[in-house]
Amino acid sequence: MALPPLLLLQDIALTFGGTPLVESAELSVSPGERACLVGRNGSGKSTLLKIAAGLIEADRGKRFVQPGATVRYLAQEPDLSAYPTTLAYVEAGLGPGDDHYRARYLLEQLGLTGDEKSADLSGGEARRAALAHVLAPQPDILLLDEPTNHLDLPVIEWLEGELKSLRSAMVLISHDRRFLESLSQATIWLDRGRTRRMDRGFAHFEEWRDQVLEQEEAEHHKLGRKLVAEADWLRYGVTARRKRNVRRLGNLHAMRQQYRERTRAVGTVNVSLAEAEQSGTLVVEAEGISKTYGDRAIVSNLSLRVLRGDRLGIIGPNGAGKTTLINMLTGVLDPDGGRVRLGSNLQMVTLDQRRASLDPDATVVETLTGGRGDTVTIGGQTKHVIGYMKDFLFSPEQARTPVGVLSGGERNRLMLARALAQPSNLLVLDEPTNDLDLETLDLLEEMIQDYSGTVILVSHDRDFLDRTVSSVLVSEGEGRWLEYAGGYTDMVAQRGRGVQARVVEKESKPKSADRPAASAPAQGKRKLSFNEQHDLKTLPKRMGEMEARIAKVQEILADPELYSRDPARFQKAMDALTQLQTELHAAEERWLELEMLREELEG
């Protein structure tokens, strides 16, 4: 006999600005059940979760929660402003009988001490504190909206294990396929304001969705109705794209096998490189490169070759130095030792974690074309901007839509479209999956698989790595990096474990205790110098100014015709961008070094 639901939504409807967002949605969660809520970006998933949490009242429908059942909701942008510290915020969510030790345990597991001031938290830190806040009381129902956003691999894998160990019922929204596959037992699909339910986990969703869409499409044709709505084109196009991606995954597996063969035949590789360098076969060659900041090694004696067509994934915990390594491999940052040689005729396009800013007043077309004409040049071929927009799931009606009114997912797609429209043969992507929905991830995977050049990317998304890269470079700690053929799953099989968190405090305390006694008093008396205090105070403002200047230069370089029209200006902008990025990176590292020193001296 089925248990009565803890949480029930029936016939939910909600309209925003005259447009129905949710028309007839249902949601039922039984004790201990783990369900995922999926749907296109903008379909109303987060809104439905807020209705379930009681934060938004629906225009129509019924919400029922079992009397006495506790509900905790994780928002995408948590607000901690009412609490002085992260510990105070987490403890505020505990009930009379809850264990206060669990609050400190969760904060520690999530990389926080509990003493962080709420006003000074970054977005990622606030999100980790919010996770501890909702998990600490072990509620009857957990409603989690993108819980893995801005978390690194060790924390994501820890969170999976923690959620599996709870008896709480859960509803999850996430773009992380592996996370959903690991946790979900049921799938709720929100499509055009209505929900469909499958009593199986997310691993079976795509097959089920395709069957539903194919059946609907067949019924449309039986009725003799012509499909003209762009929404229909987008929905039914999903099936064809997934079938194409199945073939692409087969090609990726073949590429990985070729990579394994190449890395085994070292002598053969050397010969082919010597013959092919002039034609651009060699993209990046690093020989014994090293980089340290203070006493901390970021990279130690790394040698690596990246050839044309390779897809290299760089993975490691937060703080391992992934962005620093990318900057060295692409010539933005000089190593302390060793050398990096870049191949000939390289045209590089970079999409970094901050994402180049978009002009909110510009239209979608103006953003993609730079305000000139109605075409873009992709891979040397001219394409009408409307067709290119459709590749990124935009409808023709959105051509004149201002960027400022686009949803977060749409802006992410637009940034990707603009970056990929620039001519390149080397694509460098630093955390490209941040804040992307599942269908945009599908699109990005398709673009990478079709890309004829070389790709270097940093990602914490295990499924995305499995679907896109031919090899991964993994941080082994203390500046050591090792390369493994295949994706993330292949790496775990070869290495015997996943990525582990970089421990800072737990390692530094024993080391300080092992120092000679004579050095201890000197360390205790150490204070920040005047210059160090000044840098610590002024660097954030300077970094903000540099980021603004970088954004302006990137706006100039976003013009796809700039190189052919004015090569001198293009080169000047590239030089300025490289210099600014180098200065920004140095400033960030200096601020991080001083902040860590300040915490050590005050702690």
**40 is known to lie in a ligand binding site:** yes
- Beta pairing partners, 351: 429
Closest by alpha carbon to 5, among 47, 44, 45, 52? 52
Q: Find where tokens 């799938």 sit.
A: 187
**316 is known to lie in a ligand binding site:** yes
**193 is known to lie in a ligand binding site:** no
Rounded Cα distance between 300 and 336, Å, is: 10
Rounded Cα distance between 405 and 92, Å, is: 36
**320 is known to lie in a ligand binding site:** yes
**243 is known to lie in a ligand binding site:** no
Rounded Cα distance between 435 and 150, Å, is: 8
**43 is known to lie in a ligand binding site:** yes
Q: Which DSSP symbol is given to 85?
A: B
Cβ contact 303:287 at 8 Å = yes
Cβ contact 377:560 at 8 Å = yes
Q: What is the DSSP string of 377-443?
A: EETTEEEEHHHHHHHTT--GGGTT-BGGGS-HHHHHHHHHHHHHHS--SEEEEESTTTT--HHHHHH
Four-point Cα dihedral 52, 53, 57, 61, nearest 10: 20
SS3 labels along 142-200 = EEEECCCCCCCHHHHHHHHHHHHHCCCEEEEECCCHHHHHHHCCEEEEEECCEEEEECC
**318 is known to lie in a ligand binding site:** yes
Closest by alpha carbon to 445, among 323, 313, 539? 313
**322 is known to lie in a ligand binding site:** yes
CB atoms within 10 A of CB 514: 7
- Contacts of 252-257 with CB under 8 Å at 24 or more apart are 252/311, 252/449, 252/467, 252/468, 252/470, 255/309, 255/311, 255/470, 256/470, 256/471, 256/485, 256/486, 256/487, 256/490
**41 is known to lie in a ligand binding site:** yes
**317 is known to lie in a ligand binding site:** yes
- Which residues have a Cβ under 8 Å from the Cβ of 436 and sit 6 or more positions away? 175, 409, 412, 413, 444
**479 is known to lie in a ligand binding site:** no
**321 is known to lie in a ligand binding site:** yes
- Classify each residue of 244-283 as buried b or exposed e, where b means 16 or more C-beta atoms within 10 Å of its C-beta: ebeebeeebeebbeebbebeeeeeeeeeeeeeeeeebbbb
- Which residues have a Cβ under 8 Å from the Cβ of 380 and sit 6 or more positions away? 423
Rounded Cα distance between 315 and 201, Å, is: 27
**24 is known to lie in a ligand binding site:** no
Using CB atoms within 10 Å of the CB of residue 225, give its burial: 0 to 12 exposed, 13 to 18 middle, 19+ buried: exposed
Which residues define the annotated binding site for ATP?
39-46, 316-323
Which residues define the annotated binding site?
39-46, 316-323
